[in-house]
Amino acid sequence: MRIGLLAWEAGEYESNELYRYGREQGHEMTLFTLPDIGLRLSSSGAEVTVLGESAHDRFDLVLARPELRPGLVEADYELLHLLGTIPGVTVIDPPAVYLANEFKLVTLRRLADAGFPVVPTRTCRTREEVADAAAEWGRIVLKPTFTWGGKDVERVFDVDRDAPVVERLLAGYEVLACQPYIEHPGGDIRVTVVGDEVPLTFRRVPSGGENWKANVALGADAEVIQPPPELAEMALEAARLCRITMAGLDFLDTADGYRILEINDVPGWYPVPRREQQATLESVFRMFEARMRARVPEPVPLPRAS
């Protein structure tokens, strides 16, 4: 196969590992980022380029894992959209699907409407709305609706005492997502979905104290676990509902059962042991092969001579 890997950034671990593994398997691999996408227009037509060369007839499929940056989403998405206009190229996932799953509120609304157990969420634009949420839930979490890596995700235990945090977030973002703070000393659970498989599940355990966020980049530990069947099936069904092929679904194990915290469309696996990383790579390429088979219609048998 001729496979393009649209990476988050040039040094992104997972995309580089997919590139390495694909080459080892004999595939023609191209690794690039959003700034490597261009467009050439002339009287004879339009041509999308990747790394300065025509992308037409260059790829069978492209796996899209780009960074859409806060404040620059329009410019970044325009380049991603161009990639989706190349005739005959399967983009996983299509630009419109990828963009929709970048927005936490859109995804949570879709899941809640379908009856999935999500963490209660409301939007806040003012300190008064934050205070109303705190009056209902007690301790709360405030976070941007479009971000990653735990950036600007803050606990608020007392709206008056934590007023500087609340004001900083309200000043920095037009709208915030507010959720009840649910104690999770055992961490959350990241279920990685690839097509119809769940190749990797791990618990992310905060280091404790003020470092309460279950984010490996912020010091949490990753412990590979075997997911209960009902959790794996819920993750698969949620990903299908959102039409997303590769996803990392974050769950909280609460007294009322598993609740979906959010869905990530650029799942990572760098924190886990090599064996589990290998299993994830193999799953991704099985998904690629399945997608290519689905593109090729089955030959119609010739009628038998009478």
- pLDDT confidence bin for 298, thresholds 50/70/90: very low
Fold of 122-180: Dna Ligase; domain 1 (3.30.1490)
Domain ranges of the chain: 2-95, 103-116+184-268, 122-180
Fold of 103-116+184-268: D-amino Acid Aminotransferase; Chain A, domain 1 (3.30.470)
Supply the pLDDT for residue 18.
98
Supply the pLDDT for residue 217.
78
Judged against a pLDDT cut of 80, whether residue 183 lies above it is answered with: yes
Fold of 2-95: Rossmann fold (3.40.50)
> Phi/psi at 272 (nearest 5 deg)?
-95, 165
Find the mean pLDDT for residues 56-67. 96
Rounded Cα distance, 83 and 89, in Å: 9
Q: Please tell me which residue, 287 or 45, carries the higher pLDDT value.
A: 287
Q: Give the residue from 60, 165, 179, 81 showing the smallest Cα distance to 123.
A: 179
Going by C-beta distance under 8 Å and a sequence separation of 6 or more, which residues neighbour residue 261? 118, 119, 188, 250, 251, 252
Judged against a pLDDT cut of 90, whether residue 43 lies above it is answered with: no
- Tell the burial category of 59 from Cβ atoms under 10 Å away from its Cβ (0-12, 13-18, 19+): buried
Find the mean pLDDT for residues 279-288. 98
pTM equals 0.90
Give the chain's mean pLDDT.
92
Find the mean pLDDT for residues 222-241. 97
Token pair listed for 34 = 């959003």
pLDDT above 70 coverage of the chain, percent: 95
Rounded Cα distance, 151 and 270, in Å: 19
pLDDT in tens, 100-143: 999 989 999 999 999 999 999 999 999 999 999 999 999 999 99
Rounded Cα distance, 97 and 120, in Å: 24
Rounded Cα distance, 49 and 303, in Å: 44
Find the mean pLDDT for residues 161-174. 95
